[in-house]
Amino acid sequence: MEGDLNITPDPGIQPKKGQLLLSEPFLNDPYFKRTVIFLCEHNDEGSFGFVLNNYIDVELDQIMENMPKFDGRISIGGPVKNSNLYYIHTLGAEIEESVEVIPGIFMGGSFDALKDLLMQGKIGSSQIRFFVGYSGWSPRQLEAEMSHKSWFVANVGKDLVMDTEDKDLWRTIMKRLGVQGKFIANLPEDPSLN
């Protein structure tokens, strides 16, 4: 049966806002090797999202001045504008001007409202995720990468998007993609070791 498995993504699948992109298992790009990207926008003007499983060992108050201590992990969202801080959250209207990406997960919003809620201790680490930088594609660039079989597409619930504790999120989600995904999840990072 393993000989019948196709271990490359289906180039016919088109990504949509709110889906996850999983890099193909042997992608050797330092930013995107075995990454999971939450796609926050995908339209005729391009695409952008945040890498969910690439963390940095830095605290929120070390990234931005006058921020409170925050008990949550910070991710490298991607190589674009990596001197800026971005966030997704489950707080909805509590942070004015936030934009709903999928039901229950919002992006951005008023930084002052966010900071006030953080100062008051009203936001837990399961309600918000911070990213330094983002991943972006110009118009049709992501589709071109999809045609070259660089990305798998997955739909998952908000719990996995907001989870910062899973030590191997790429493998966890890949295993949810059926028999093919379970096989791919167990491939070594270096194909010469297979």
Report field, pTM of the whole predicted structure over 0.85:
yes
pLDDT at 191 over 80: no
Q: What is the 3-state secondary structure (H, E, C) of 86-124?
A: EEEECCHHHCCCCEEEECCEEECCCHHHHHHHHHCCCCC
- What CA–CA distances, in Å, run from 142 to 41, 134, 152, 163, 190? 11, 14, 12, 25, 25
Q: How many CA atoms lie within 13 A of 79 on its CB side?
A: 7
Query: In the structure, what pLDDT confidence band is assigned to residue 162 with cuts at 50, 70 and 90?
Result: very high
Q: What confidence score (pLDDT) does residue 6 get?
A: 53
Beta bridge partners of 42: 47
pLDDT tens profile 49-80: 999 999 999 999 899 888 888 888 999 999 99
Q: What pLDDT score was predicted for residue 29?
A: 86
Assign 190 a pLDDT band (cuts: 50, 70, 90): low
Cβ neighbours for 98, distance < 8 A, ≥ 6 positions apart? 89, 91, 92, 106, 107, 108, 109, 110
- Per-residue pLDDT, 3: 44
The domain segmentation of the chain, as residue ranges, is: 2-185
Contact 90, 104 (CB under 8 A): yes
- pLDDT single digits (tens) 119-149: 999 999 999 999 999 999 999 999 999 988 8
How does the average pLDDT of the chain come out, rounded?
A: 89
Q: Which residues, other chains included, contact 78 with Cβ-Cβ below 8 Å and sequence gap of 6+?
A: 31, 37, 49, 50, 51, 131, 133, 134, 135, 136
CATH match for 2-185 among 3.40.220.10, 3.40.1740.10, 3.30.70.260, 1.10.287.70: 3.40.1740.10
